[in-house]
């Protein structure tokens, strides 16, 4: 043969997640799953004195990780709804991770042994606010908003998954 593949081989290549979408998928599978596990542990530790909330935090973490896996699956196997699922995940991500940051902040802020001059202590209330609340929330928002914009504006996304925005004239 002279290097030409069969038609179904090209169709398979079009279905694969590649490039920036592959990076997003890997980030979800690796980074976000680790963040989900940390979320479960931090929220559980902060809320373990209230059993119902501690169990709810475990359930929330498990649901978060499950939605991460579903989002990765949707990108490669459910192209019709993939972008809507990704956008939903990114919005849900903001809510869940900001909530967990606030719970962690309240827990750390109320723990007076966390304030001091030791290396592992917060040097002031402002230091605690910055490291527990402001920086994590800024990261959460920047990450989610940038990926959301990518999925709205990307030509590759529109080619692969179609135009996900409904025209006003329908």
Half-sphere exposure of 30 (CA within 13 A, CB side): 6
Nearest to 113 by CA among 104, 103, 125, 122: 122
Residue 2 within a domain: no
Residue 166 within a domain: no
Indicate the range of 1-10, 59-68, 127-136, 141-150 predicted with least confidence. Answer: 1-10
- Cα–Cα distance for residue pair 152/165, rounded to 1 Å: 8
Residue 41 within a domain: yes
Range of the domain at 48: 12-161
Q: How much is the pLDDT for 108?
A: 79
Q: How much is the pLDDT for 3?
A: 57
Residue 87 within a domain: yes
Q: How much is the pLDDT for 62?
A: 92
DSSP code per residue over 60-118: HHHHHHHHHHHHHHHHHH-TTTHHHHHHHHHHHHHHHHHHHHHHHHHHHHH-GGGBSSS
Q: How much is the pLDDT for 170?
A: 43
The CA angle 31-53-135, to the nearest 5 degrees, is 40
Q: Determine the average pLDDT of the residues in 6-24.
A: 64
Q: Determine the average pLDDT of the residues in 82-87.
A: 91
The model carries a pTM of: 0.77
Nearest to 61 by CA among 24, 91, 32: 32
Residue 4 within a domain: no
* For the chain, percent of residues with pLDDT exceeding 70: 83
Say how far residue 109 (Cα) sits from the centre of its chain: 25
pLDDT digits (tens, 9 = 90+) for 86-129: 999 999 999 999 998 898 888 877 777 777 777 667 777 777 78
Nearest to 130 by CA among 103, 105, 112, 113: 105
Q: How much is the pLDDT for 168?
A: 39
Range among 11-25, 51-65, 102-116 rated most confident: 51-65
Q: Which helix (DSSP H) or strand (DSSP E) does residue 149 occupy?
A: helix 135-153
Q: How much is the pLDDT for 87?
A: 93
Residue 170 within a domain: no
**122: helix, coil or strand?**
strand
Domain count, the chain: 1
Nearest to 133 by CA among 163, 164, 99: 99
Q: How much is the pLDDT for 130?
A: 82
Which of the four pLDDT bands, split at 50, 70 and 90, describes residue 2? low
Residue 6 within a domain: no
């Amino acid at each position: 043969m002279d290097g030409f593949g069969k038609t179904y081989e090209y169709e398979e290549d079009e279905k694969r997640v590649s490039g920036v979408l592959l990076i997003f998928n890997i980030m979800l599978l690796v980074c976000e799953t680790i963040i989900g596990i940390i979320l479960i542990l931090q929220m559980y530790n902060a809320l373990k004195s209230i059993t119902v909330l501690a169990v709810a935090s475990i359930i929330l973490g498990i649901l978060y990780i499950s939605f991460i896996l579903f989002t990765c699956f949707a990108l490669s196997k459910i192209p019709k709804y993939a972008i809507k699922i990704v956008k939903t995940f990114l919005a849900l991500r903001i809510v869940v991770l900001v909530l967990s940051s606030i719970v962690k902040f309240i827990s750390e802020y109320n723990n007076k042994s966390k304030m001091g001059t030791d290396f592992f202590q917060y040097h002031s209330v402002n230091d605690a606010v910055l490291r527990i609340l402001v920086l994590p929330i800024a990261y959460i928002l920047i990450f989610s908003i940038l990926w959301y914009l990518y999925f709205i504006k990307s030509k590759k996304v529109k080619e692969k998954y179609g135009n996900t925005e409904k025209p006003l004239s329908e």
